Chain A
Amino acid sequence: MSVHIAKALDPVEAMRKAHADALIDVATFKDEVTLIIKPETLVTVARYLRDTPGLIYNFLSDISAVDYFNPQGGYDGRPERFAVSYHLYSMLYNRRIRVKTFVAEEEPHVPTLTVVWPAANWLEREIIDMMGITFDGHPDPRRLLMPKDWDGHPHRRDYPLGYEQVMFSFNVEDIIKHKPNAKDGQEENTRQ
């Protein structure tokens, strides 16, 4: 049995031809190609990358979100505060690609990819929970790791790391006074 395998296409060129309107930028860093696209085109682009002969990025490796918040102000040179990165892998051509989309600080939301890969379900739930980015059309948008009544999104850069001061007999009353926020009144966790 012989199977015809289409010749591998360059993902950047293919995207420029087929979805030029969706593509904002292409970045290559340390031999890793990143397609930066508009958030609303995510599902179309994911389907295109998955199903086009010559690309066949059939495996969703990872979804992760980045917060570019800088306490000194601005987003470290990025247009928006958040970014969601999708790491796709093509088993046929043995290569990876990163699809990245930037989302604004106010009510950040992107479309869900669970319709393309069921694997996206929990990866997106983790981002809903930890980064506070909502995924439109997600079938089960409950918190994944934190308790359901948790306040805030811990992976945001402006969310304090938090720690408990070591309790001794001389400061026990002071610490209990500040419970449940035992950190209050102490030096902020500095970030370099």
Chain B
Amino acid sequence: MTLNVLERDAQKLGEGAGEMSSGQMATWEGSVEELRGLVSERAMTGETMLLNMGPHHPSTHGVLRLLLELDGEEIVTCLPDIGFLHTGIEKNIESKSYEKAVTLTDRMDYLSPMSNNAVFSMAVEKLAGIDVPVRAQTIRVICLELQRISSHLVWLGTHALDMGAMSVFLYAFREREKILDLFEMLSGQRLMGSYIRPGGVWRDLPAEFLPALQVFIDDFPRRVKDYESLLTKNPIWIDRTQGIGVVEPDEALAYGMTGPTLRASGVNWDIRKAMPYSGYEQFDFDVPLGEHGDVFDRFYVRILEFHESVRIIQQAMKNIPGGAFRSENRKFVPPPRAELGRSMEAVIHHFKLWTEGYNVPDGEVYVAIESPRGEIGCYLHGTGGNKPRRVHFKTPSLMHISSLGKVSQGHMIADVVAIIGSIDIVLGDSDR
């Protein structure tokens, strides 16, 4: 029977190949007519070739599909296609109370769950008016910067791997593993800890966390030098990256690019500096800028951000304020477990918060923070009840992928791989 199916498929394939003419093509669009206006007229006549890349291509960092129109090996048009990782997170949050929705946000940008937790928590805090103690803010800064390092490490490893530098991948993931161990200490989870919650963080820093973090921070700058010695002055790396995928500053702004991708084009905009949140204004750090806006600059800006994140963590570790690690406002934040045994009020609060949740006003807020990839924004609209009317995440990857067609125009196929790597996309982030 298996053979029959195979034979039938082979027959079909043969028929298809025989009938294939300029008006038909072997992609999911069905016919080239559907793409009129999106690809050039030459594709209509079959003069240029339409090639499907992905969604299972290893260099697309997940499930990104590109429809490339090629003239020889040169890209005439590049049409990105996303949605393969759409999980309906925004829709799901509409039926969850605010506290319970935090775990869903982890799953969006799976390389930086802490940023997602933070932006959602901050939107809820703004809408409901929940205070965040200073200790919680500093713990958040440490987490967010660790997350930035870990996310950049994955980017560095995979980007270099795409370009044929296998060893960087192994080194980068070795260091990332140490950060994941630190997150496990904090939240019990390596990847999706839901550690940052509305009102503060889930629990206080455990005693062994700061010494372990110190060991990592003392060691890490030396590791960055190792990566640099493998790549920054490597002539093959420079050949593959310099002058490729150039984005002019005004173009980057028009296409909504943010984060290191925007700063590599020389635009000095970092939300941590422009609109400080969670106490970022107390820390002394620089915003690395690029000049040319090419793949190399995007690479080098992120390498420099490693050092800046280390600086921020060092400053934060020196003086972590005392006090509560989450808000004492019992109407929004559950009481500590120990209180449940001796206070009736605590039991009531606990029960109310974990069954019904809390009500937030019927209003809308937009909160944006600097994730490792750029501006991640949360537009939150309450109903006056315990569930949101609408939550929308503005994600940097969506904007970056939408500009991919523009950036990769005129380059070779092999350069597209370099460009995808350099804009650091996460498909979970763009599809949500």
Let me know if B86 is at the binding interface, CB within 8 A.
yes
- A154 B88 Cβ-Cβ under 8 A: yes
Complex interface: chain A residues within 8 A of B275 (CB): 94
B399 and A189 form a contact (CB under 8 A): no
Question: B429 at interface (Cβ–Cβ under 8 A)?
Answer: no
Is chain B's interface secondary structure helix, strand, loop, or mixed overall? mixed
CA of A119 to CA of B261 in the docked complex: distance in angstroms? 15
A62 is an interface residue with CB less than 8 A from chain B: yes
Which 6 pairs between the two chains have the least Cβ-Cβ distance? A119-B256, A64-B392, A62-B394, A122-B402, A145-B83, A29-B363
Given the known inter-chain contacts A61-B377, A154-B91, A161-B92, please indicate yes or no for A98 contacting B366, CB distance below 8 A. yes
Kindly state the separation between the CA atoms of A29 and B123 in the bound complex, as whole angstroms.
Answer: 13
Residues of B within 8 A of A146 (CB): 83, 86
- Contact A30–B274 (Cβ < 8 Å): no
Q: Which of B83, B364, B403 contacts A85 (CB 8 A)?
A: B364
Query: CA separation between A90 and B254, bound complex, in Å?
Result: 13
Q: Is A76's CB within 8 Å of the partner chain B?
A: yes
Within 8 A of A (CB), among B217-273: 253-256, 267, 269
A136–chain B nearest beta-carbon distance, Å: 16
Verify if B431 is at the interface (C-beta below 8 Å from A): yes
Shortest beta-carbon distance from B301 to chain A in Å:
18
A154 to B83, CA, bound (A): 13
**CB atoms of A62 and B82 under 8 A apart:** no
Cβ-based interface call for B287 (8 A)? no
For A29, give its contact among B267, B365, B368, B406 (CB under 8 Å). B365
> Do residues A161 and B83 form an inter-chain contact, with CB atoms below 8 A?
no
Encode contact with A along B89-127: 1 for CB under 8 Å, 0 otherwise: 011101100000000000000000000000000000011
Closest to B385 in A: A192
Which residues of the partner chain B approach A66 to less than 8 Å between Cβ atoms?
364, 381, 389-390
Contact with A along B362-374 (1 / 0, CB 8 A): 1111101000000
Contacting pair A87 B377 (CB below 8 A): yes
B95 touches which of A64, A119, A154, A191 (Cβ 8 Å): A191
- Asked if A48 lies at the interface with its beta carbon under 8 angstroms from chain B, I say no
| Across-interface contacts of B315 in A (CB, < 8 A) | none
Interface presence of B38 (CB below 8 A): yes
Pair B90/A30 contact, Cβ less than 8 Å:
no
- B126 contacts which chain A residues (CB < 8 A)? 30
Interface residues of A (CB under 8 A from B): 29-30, 32, 34, 58-62, 64-68, 76, 85, 87, 91, 94, 96, 98, 117-119, 121-123, 126, 139-140, 143-147, 154-155, 157, 159, 161, 189, 191-192
Q: Which residues of B contact A119 (CB under 8 A)?
A: 254-256, 399, 402-403
Residue contact B363 to A30, C-beta cutoff 8 Å? yes
User: How near does chain B come to A101, taking the closest CB pair, in angstroms?
Assistant: 14
Q: Which residue of A lies closest to B251 (CB)?
A: A118
The reply to whether B38 and A61 contact each other, CB–CB distance below 8 Å, is no
Query: What are 8 of the A-B contact pairs (CB < 8 Å)?
Result: A29-B365, A60-B256, A61-B368, A67-B389, A119-B256, A126-B398, A145-B86, A192-B385
B386 at the interface (CB under 8 A from A): yes
Minimal beta-carbon separation of A47 from chain B (angstroms):
14
Instruction: Give Cα A68 to B83, complex, Å.
Output: 25
Q: How far is the CA of A33 from the CA of B168 in the complex (A)?
A: 47
Cβ contacts B17-31/A at 8 Å (1 or 0 each)? 000000000000000
Report B265-295 residues with CB < 8 Å from chain A CB.
267, 269, 274-275
Q: B37 near A139 (CB under 8 angstroms)?
A: yes
A118-B366 contact given A76-B383, A192-B387, CB 8 Å threshold: no
Q: How far is the CA of A52 from the CA of B246 in the complex (A)?
A: 29
Task: Give the shortest distance, in Å, between A144 (CB) and chain B (any CB).
Answer: 6
B91→A67 contact, CB < 8 A: no
| Min CB–CB distance B271 → chain A (angstroms) | 10
Q: Are B95 and A189 touching (Cβ within 8 A)? A: yes
Return chain A residues, CB-CB under 8 Å to B385.
Answer: 192
For B254, B377, B392, B394, the residue with the greatest tally of chain A CB atoms inside 10 Å of its CB is B392
A192 to B363 Cα, complex, angstroms: 17
Complex alpha-carbon distance, A33 and B255, angstroms: 24
With the chains together, A118 CA to B126 CA distance in Å?
30
CB distance from B256 to the nearest CB of A (A): 3
For residue A65, which residues in chain B have a CB less than 8 angstroms away from its CB? 390, 392
Q: How far is the CA of A145 from the CA of B90 in the complex (A)?
A: 13
